[in-house]
Structure 1
C-alpha cells in the first residue's frame, strides 16, 4: 500500500491564492526600496547598517522577516483555528489597549505605544485584526439575525469599543480607521440610510467650517421653508412629516451652531484642528502647512517619469518630515513621477478588487465578512494616506500598508492578509 507523508509544503500549496501572494511581495519590496531611497547616502556601508539595525530600512527588513515567519505559521495552521480564537483574541486586544492607558509611552504626541525590551509596539494596529476577527465571528453565528436592532447594536459596539479606547490614547487617526468596518455592516445588510446620515453629518461639519454660521442658518431656514411650502398639501394626511422637517431643521441648526464649535474648541487637540484647517485652506501658517507643502513639492518635482531611483532631492535630504512613515508616497512620486504613482495606485486597486473577488467566492459567512473587513481597512488606509501626502486629507498619521516604516503596521497587515489567504484555501471546509 502506498503511503504519503504530508510535508509543510503539501499543507501550504493547495488552494493558495497566488495573485494575493504576488501582490503582497511586490508591495513589500517596493516599500523596502522606498525606505532605502530615503535614508541611504553615498559612501555608506549598507551591509553594516543591515547587520547593526542602524537605519530604518534595516529595521524594516527585520520586521519583514518576522512577518514572513508569522505568515508561514498562519499558512500551516488549520483555518478553523481563527473563528475558534476570534473572541479570545478580541478580549486580548482590548486588554492591551487598556494596558496602554496605564503603562503606555508618549511618542510624538501619541500615548498609544508599549515599549518592550527596547522595541516599540502599537496595540491599536493589532486590534484592527482582532476586531475584524470578532466581527466576522459574531456575524457568522447561527443565532444572530443581523436584521434585528439588537444584533446591529452589538456589532457596532464591537467596532466602537476599541476605537473609543484608542481615542483616549490621543491616537484619533487610527481610531477613525475603525469606521471603515461600517462598510462591512452595510454589505451584510445594514440599511443604507445609516450611511446617508453619516455622509450628511460629514457635509454638515464641512459646511460649519467653511461657511459663516449665521449664513448657514439662513440657508437651512430657507430650504426648510421651501420644503414646507411645496409639501403643504400632504401635511393634512401626514402631519408627522411637518414635525420631521422641523426636527431635521432644528438638528442641523443646533449641530452647526453649537455642536461643531464645541468639538473643535473642547474635544479636538489644537494640532488636530490645525491639520483640518490646513486641509480646508483656512490656515496657511508655515508651521502648520509645512509637511503638506513639502510633500506636494516632492511629488510635483517628479514630473511625468520622475527623477530616477536614488536621485530625489526633496525626499533624500529630509525636506519632508516623517518621510519613511506617513509620507513614504512622496518617494514614489519624486523618483518615479506620475507614471510610478499611478502604477502603485494600480497595484493597490488590483489588490482590493482581488480581495473582493475572494470574499464573494467564500462559502462561509465568517470568511466573507473577514475579507470585506480587510478590504475596507486597506481602502481607508490607502485613500487617507495618499490624501494626506497630496493635501486632500488632514495629516492624521495613517501608514501606507506594507510601504510605510513600522513593525506594528507591517506585522498586522501581513497577518491580516495571510489569514484571508488561509481561509480562502480552506473555503471548501468551512461551512459557516
Structure 2
C-alpha cells in the first residue's frame, strides 16, 4: 500500500467560493489539511482595459478606470487623470488637488472597511460586518452628494473635477470625520483583543520584509511586513506634501499585522481628511488649459453679454476649443509613468503618446495582481482553513 503521506489532494477554492470576493480561483495541493502548494489562477475577469485605453480617446477612457477596482473608484480615475496631466504638462489648481485628496482618502477608508467587514465575516465574526457597512453607507451618501452616484462615479476630469463640492457635501465630510475615530475604536473592541480573531490571524500567512520586497508587494501587504513605503510620502502627488500623517507598519508580517496596518491607515486617512477640510483653499477646480478643459458654460450660451465681455470672436474661439476637447485633443509624443498609493498598494499607469488623441501604448500596474504572488509562500505549511484569512488579508 502507498504511504498515506504520498497521496496529495488537489482542491479548487473558487472561482465561486464566497471567501474569494471576486473571480479568483486558487488550486490548493493538500497533505491532509496542510497546504503544500497554492497556485492563484487569474484571468476570469480579464476585460482588456489596457487595449481599450489604446482604442479610446484620453477623455473616453476615464469612465473605464472606475471599473478597475470598484471598491475605490475615485482613486483609479484620479490616478489616470494625473498621469495624462503629467504627460501633457497640465497643472491643476490647489483647490482641485485638495478635493482629490478628500475623494482619495474617503475611497481608501471605504475599501479598508470591506476588508474589516468581510474578512471578519469569512471566519465567523458577523457583528463587525454590520458596523463596517454602516460607515461605508455614510461614505456612499457623501459620494452621492458630490457625484450623483453611489459607485463608478466618473467624477475626475483631465485638468480638474466634474464639479466643485457643495457646502452640504463638505459639511457631510466634516460630520463623518468627527465620529469616525470612535467608530474605529468600536471595530477594535470587537476584533483586536478578541481571542478567536487573534488565533485565526496571529502568525498566519507570515511573509518577511526581504521576501515582500523581492515579490514587489506594496500597500498594506508590504507595510505589514515592516517596510515603511508609502507613495504619498516618498513620491508625493496631488497635495499630500501639505499634510501631516504617519505610515503604520507591522513587525511580524502576518495576517494580524496586515489587519492592524489597515486599521491604523483608516485613522490616518481620517486625520488627512480633517486637515484637508481645515486648509481647503478657494478658487477654481479646473486648469486654464483649453486643450483638455471645457470652457465655462456661461461663455457658450450667449454670443456676448450687455457689457461686451464676451464678444462673438471670443465665443467662437471657446466653441472651437470645446469641439477640440470633445473630439479628443492630442498630446505631444512622449511617455510617462505615474503611480499613486491606492487602497491595495501601488496603482500605476504607463502611457506612451504618439501625438494623437489616444494612447499609443498603455500599461496598468494593478496592485492586487502583483500582491497575489505572495499567496503561495503565505499559505504553504498552513491549514486549509487558514487560507481564508490569508486571502482576505
TM-score bracket, normalised by the shorter chain, equals: under 0.3
Q: Which has the higher strand share?
A: 2
State the TM-score, normalized to the length of structure 1.
0.24
State the TM-score, normalized to the length of structure 2.
0.26
Q: Which has the higher helix share?
A: 1
